[in-house]
Chain A
Amino acid sequence: MLLSTRDLTKTFPGTRALDAVSFDLKAGEVHALLGENGAGKSTLIKCLTGAYRRDSGDILFEGQPIFPQSTLEAQAIGIGTVYQEVNLLPNLTVAENLTLGHQPRRLGMIRSRAMNAQADEMLSGYGIDIDVRRTLDQYSVAVQQIVAIARAVHLSGRVLILDEPTASLDAREVQMLFDVVRDLRARGLGIIFISHFLDQVFEISDRLTILRNGRHIATCPAAEVDRMQLITLMLGHELQQETATRARPVADGKDAIRFSGVGRRGRIAPFDLTVHKGEVIGMAGLLGSGRTESAEVLFGAAPSDSGTVEDSDGPVDLRNPRAAIAAGFAFAPEDRKTDGIIAELSVRENIILALQARRGWSRPIPQAEQIRMADDYIARLDIRTPDAEKPVGLLSGGNQQKVILARWLATNPRFLILDEPTRGIDVGAHAEILRLIEDVVAQGMSILVISSELDELVAVSHRVIVVRDRQHVSQLTGEDVTTDTIVRAIAAPDLTPEATT
């Protein structure tokens, strides 16, 4: 056995994140680690890599007990990790990132030619052809991930841990990453793969281990379980089927919000959009195609420099987020770490924050009311936290996402913009969030959902806008809203329904 844990236990105040977990990783396998948000996956990884100090239990590397005190020590032992957020330095060159800490030197000076050669060599065999002298931020997230993997493999070379590596990649990039992973498996590395995308899990992994509430539930070959069994093991109960009844939006245009010719130079070309009451609009497109930029224009985060916005009461002021919120808008951004959560503040404070900001500083929400609201949303969205006073930064990734959703629902907006609302969210919560969207829409809220998961878009949207090269290229309605048509509209300009009809 390459790497094993025996009765690994880790407790945080109020939470037993790992409860006597035993886990085995063989050389030459991809082992998927699965479980709900807050099940303890990331905690297990962090204990293995020395980022957390375990309370008790053993970690064995090739049968020998190890006690990594830091990620550096773990690396030296042979355990390399790539986190969801790429932890490289974007403004250094690819070569510097790859060789950082062990650059070839002469007389204390870094020899750049040797360094670049070494970097080229490290990247050979990964099937990407890039210039190692350019800075890392000039390349896509997928390439950055692969650079991070190359670095981790070079430094450790036995065990590679990937914690939600595909969350921000599109389908093509995922394949690129998986090719690399398959190659490394063939070279005999043991690979731990964490993901909430079950299709990907089945595609790449040899064995699965399922955690629930910090406990080890099952380990089995991937070929021996099917999707439904897996979900049942993860949730501890069967997944309720989604109701596919889509209420028709009120399209009489009475309460509609009309955006005409809004856009922002260099970010998104001017576009028109009419949002009807109780309507779900999907937005599809590749990463970097202008989806997030559209959302930022609609919310005033990067205000439009052209066009007008009107509703039944006249012009709508979208100068900045504050004005947009006053107009009843809400926006749950894609990057929850930098744009969403206030990590040090409690779950309660994070939930009431948008509402409090709208009421203004002089009218504080009474403490009792805050507690009631927080408890209400914790129950409704099933946020896993010991209590409402825990700093939100200590919650698991998926639960942080739910807190941000709660923050905006609390303001009871009329137009809610969700940028990748289900990223990093487990299957159970995924279904819950889709149900929630249907709920609030039935009460008359309008929603714009941006998502890379086309199934999800098709499931909730009344119509779908396709964005390509920073332009809104087409709109699919009614029968045309299928994954197939969306994929075609994203890829080929001349196959969009508008062009053919």
Chain B
Amino acid sequence: MTTVLRRVAPQLLTLVAVIMLVSIYFPSFWQIVYVNERLVGIPIDVIKRGAPVALLAIGMTLVIATRGIDLSVGAVMAICGASAAWSIDQGFGLWAALGIALVAGLICGLWNGLLVAVFDIQPIVATLILMVAGRGIAQLITGGTILTFDNDAFSYLGSGTLLGVPVPAVIWVLTGIGFGLLVRRTALGLLVESIGVNLRASTLTGINSRVLLIAVYMGSGFCAALAGIIATADIRGADANNAGLWLELDAILAVVIGGNSLLGGRFSILASILGAMIIQTINTGILLAGFPSEFNLVIKAVLVIIILVLQSPRVLPQLAYLWRGRRDRSQRPKQSQTSQQNAGTETKT
């Protein structure tokens, strides 16, 4: 527990700092009220709107831990959202729609995993294929229009609440816990880290790295499917062109803010989720502060750069060194003076 806390401390501190920054511009940040059986307030809005990126970040963390990357998640969201909307439209009902969307996500992941693990294509290239082609596939499913539907049970997943908490937030929390238990209560986490650090040595040690890689990309596809379902349910329609657009970049950013190395190895799902919440808090904060929308992306970029620089493993020791160096320098002259004096007395005698 303490090791987990120590691991995510930078992300927690950053989140607190970002929240404080937002509260300065918007002092009523923490006002949460309970109306119509739902909690309403900015933090609630953050955990609801942050759901897609948080979900994508969960799967992306595992992919990045294997030294890979999954650029296709945004497009996979669109495919899965379209599949769900199509199923509802066909009158298959809630459960069939969910099943079809999740299976679509798993198939997308399988495709990526096969390209990476079996055909040895670099992950960035392998997933780029689906990133580009995915929106086309989604358009084929929706028939080129925004496929709207009317199904209360399904849209509950996007805009409903459970005990006052938005359902999307419940979904990402449960998914996060589920994945966390899956990788840490079994040996999966260790094996994933191992193939991320040294694939060749891991294979020689008997780790089934191919299957593991495919599974990780399928996990990412599964998370993207959940995110796609939420996005579609929220707007009661599947928009093949805009669902999940650019969200792969936010997901990667969340993982990186979470302190996970793009070079693979050690990972923390919790830290990535905190990263997603940091990004969403910034997004919401910029919106609330009422900056002209042209500034949004620039401000976001500046904040992200500051966060990353402060977290960089190069900068922290440097700062620590400067800090120590200042103390050392204030002590050292005394030492060298005494040694000079010693030398002086020696030469005199």
Q: A: which residues have CB within 8 A of B?
A: 299, 301, 320-322, 325-326, 331, 333, 338-345, 349, 353-354, 356-365, 407
Contact = CB atoms under 8 A, between A and B. Distances in A.
B204 to A, nearest CB: 5
Given A322-B206, A358-B206, A341 B198 contact: yes
Interface residues of B, number: 22
Contacts of B208: 322, 357
A392 to B, nearest CB: 10
Contacts of A338: 198, 200-201
Given A322-B208, A354-B206, A361 B191 contact: yes
Given A339-B201, A364-B190, 8 more contacts: A339-B204, A342-B201, A343-B198, A344-B265, A349-B194, A357-B208, A361-B188, A362-B187
Q: Main secondary structure on chain B at its contact with chain A?
A: helix
Contacts of A363: 186-187
A299 B205 CA distance: 11
B200 A356 contact: no
Q: 10 closest pairs, A vs B, by CB? A: A325-B206, A357-B206, A364-B187, A357-B207, A344-B265, A344-B197, A361-B187, A342-B197, A361-B188, A354-B205
B311 interface: no
B242 interface: no
Nearest to B265: A344
B187 A342 contact: no
B73 to A, nearest CB: 24
Contacts of A362: 186-187
A342 B190 CA distance: 11
Residue of B197, B198, B203, B212 ringed by the most chain A CB atoms within 10 A: B198
Interface string B110-139: 000000000000000000000000000000
Interface in B184-237: 185-188, 190-191, 193-194, 197-198, 200-208, 212
B48 interface: no
Nearest to A330: B206
Contacts of B186: 361-364
Contacts, number: 79
Contact of A344 (B193, B203, B205, B207): B193
A355 to B, nearest CB: 9
B200 A345 contact: no
A362 B201 CA distance: 21
Nearest to A358: B206
Contacts of B202: 342, 353, 357
Nearest to B328: A56
B206 A321 contact: yes
Interface string B176-188: 0000000001111
Nearest to A356: B187
B118 to A, nearest CB: 13
B78 to A, nearest CB: 31
Interface in B243-266: 265-266
B191 A407 contact: no
Interface string B265-293: 11000000000000000000000000000
B194 A321 contact: no
Contact of B185 (A349, A359, A364, A407): A364
A326 B186 CA distance: 20
Contacts of A342: 193-194, 197-198, 201-202, 205
